[in-house]
Amino acid sequence: EDPALIRWAYAKSQNVYPTFRPTPTTSFLGAAYALGPLLFWFFVLKADRDRKEKRIQEGKYERPFSVFF
């Protein structure tokens, strides 16, 4: 048995997170992947709702009857 090979196999399979170092780049990427889609959909849905509300107030849009909303 080769001790170096055993250490390498352990480091490759079991010891992943202790070698991770948080840096500004990884922190920014983590925040972007976590908050980016939420903020994107928030602004898209809010813009659509505001546009529809403006058309309703101007009288150019009649709300369709819907049982579900």
- Give the mean model confidence (pLDDT) for residues 43-64: 92
pLDDT at 19 over 90: no
Return d(Cα 40, Cα 45) in angstroms, integer. 9
19 to each of 22, 45, 46, 63, how far by Cα in Å? 10, 40, 42, 57
For the entire predicted model, the pTM comes to 0.60
Q: Taking a C-beta distance cutoff of 8 angstroms, is the pair 52, 61 a contact?
A: yes
- Give the mean model confidence (pLDDT) for residues 24-40: 95
Number of residues that make up the chain: 69
pLDDT at position 36, please?
96
Higher pLDDT, 25 or 62: 25
